[in-house]
Amino acid sequence: MSRLDKVLTVDEMKACARRRVPKQFFDYADSGSWTESTYRANRADFEKILLRQRIARSLEDRSLATAIAGQDVAMPVALSPTGLTGMQCADGEIKAARAAASAGVPFTLSTMSICSIEDVAANSSRPFWFQLYVMRDRKFIERLIDRAKAAKCPVLVLTMDLQILGQRHKDIRNGLSAPPKFTPRFLFEIARKPQWAFEMLGTKRRSFGNIVGHVDNAGDLASLSAWTANQFDLTLNWKDVAWIKNRFGGPVIVKGVLDPEDAKLALAHGADGIIVSNHGGRQLDGARSSISALPAIVEAVGDKTEVYVDGGVASGQDVLKAIALGAKAAFIGRAFLWGLGAGGEAGVARVLDILRRELDVTMALCGERDIRKVGPHNLDLGGTWPRIGSMRETTPLAAADIRTR
């Protein structure tokens, strides 16, 4: 049995990543903003949702296959865009894209990735999605969109909840930077994590690959917070969706929607899909969890567009709960980053395999054979869960809160 085969859960993968990834990069992924209350709520609210067990139904010929954004996928899971992925392990974006391609699910490359769009396109077999942050330098953004088009990215994910950065205390305390600064503390860290350092020495990709060499006056790119503060466009608004769509010429999915009114606005301005997200609890600390925001957004726009969710997805059971509440797919961020940190491409493959197996058996135990038939009827509505529209306290979930679509 290989080291990774012994890892049975996403949480065990996290523990494994913690042992192998330098603290500043492990913490970067693990952080929420300020008190991290929304980060914690993302996981905690999944746990409050109860599944409805059904028995004595044929469980033969089960299928997790579905389609998202017009693309056939092996299961309703996709990899979220995450910054600095290539710092969890060398060439991390390429490794994650390959693992996603083998598992038959989409990989989304972040603007703030270490490997560039061209690097990932040249080293992976399946088209990947590209995530866009809009910066002040419009010419650069236009070129970035063109580069995603040239790399044949079929979908653009437009993140609209991060024009200004929620403070993550750990990053400040750790002096996060890419490439890392060779301080005595960092040298001590890599002495304890030699595999990470050895692999990192073997790659040229150690800074923001989509930006370095593509933008004039890049400024202090070593610091994500400094870069964001100087370069991200504070004027970004709904009207921008039109020119971005026009330039890209393919589906544009808006990420960062947590409010039904914003979901309607996104749709009215041309969004081709919506990712319900609070940026993994990394932006507005005190906002509700993504999963508790999902039902009201599905109710507002779910009959007109595909709605996806990210934030706190750490098991196949979580994926099933998201689908039952009306999401077409659940996106994973930290879960795949921990796989990368723990074991590179094989680690991500293992995480996707864990989720697939958990999802398959969970679906069966709910009495379903086809993921496309999973819906609110698979939830135990007599359970406890934060009521839609209420604050985050736990109150009984009324059947009426979750409409059957």
Chain residues that interact with ligand GLV, rule: CB under 6 A: 83, 112, 162, 279, 282
Closest distance to ligand GLV from the beta carbon of 131 (Å): 8
Closest approach, Cβ 308 to ligand GLV, in A, equals: 17
Q: What is the spatial distance between Cα 159 and Cα 253, in angstroms, rounded to a whole number?
A: 8
Least distance from C-beta 280 to ligand GLV, angstroms?
Answer: 7
Measured between alpha carbons, how far is 295 from 298 in angstroms, rounded to an integer? 5
Q: How far is the CB of 305 from ligand GLV (least distance, A)?
A: 23
Q: How far apart are CA 386 and CA 27, in angstroms?
A: 29
Cβ closer to ligand GLV: 77 or 162? 162
Q: How far apart are CA 272 and CA 278, in angstroms?
A: 19
Q: Which is nearer to ligand GLV, 112 or 374 (CB)?
A: 112
Of 77, 48, 71, which Cα lies nearest the Cα of 316?
Answer: 77
Cis peptide before 76 (omega within 30 of 0): no
Instruction: Please spell the DSSP secondary structure of 76-92, one letter per residue.
Output: SEEEPP-TTGGGTSTTH
Q: What is the number of helices (H) and of strands (E) in the chain?
A: 15, 12
- Enumerate the H helices of 285-333 as residue ranges: 290-301, 316-324
Shorter beta-carbon distance to ligand GLV: residue 284 or 364: 284
Residue nearer to ligand GLV on the CB measure, 283 or 378: 283
DSSP letter, residue 68: E
Q: Residue type at 91? A: D
Least separation in angstroms between residue 162's CB and ligand GLV is: 6
The residue (of 114 and 397) whose beta carbon lies closer to ligand GLV is 114
Do the beta carbons of residue 330 and residue 358 sit within 8 Å? no
214 annotated active-site: no
Strand partners, 395: 385
From 169, 214, 279, 377, active-site residue = 279
Name the closest residue to ligand GLV (Cβ). 83
Measured from the CB atom, the residue of 131 and 317 that comes closer to ligand GLV is 131
Q: Which is nearer to ligand GLV, 13 or 162 (CB)?
A: 162
Q: With both helix axes pointing from N to C terminus, report the angle between 260-268 and 290-301 in degrees, rounded to the nearest 10.
A: 50
One-letter amino acid identity for 134? V
- The CA distance from 319 to 325, in Å, is 10
Assigned token pair, 206: 């150690």
Residue with tokens 């392990």: 89
Give me the least distance between CB of 83 and ligand GLV, in Å please: 4
The CB-of-215 to ligand GLV minimum distance in angstroms stands at 18
Q: Judge contact between 311 and 42, C-beta under 8 A.
A: yes
What are the catalytic residues?
Answer: 279
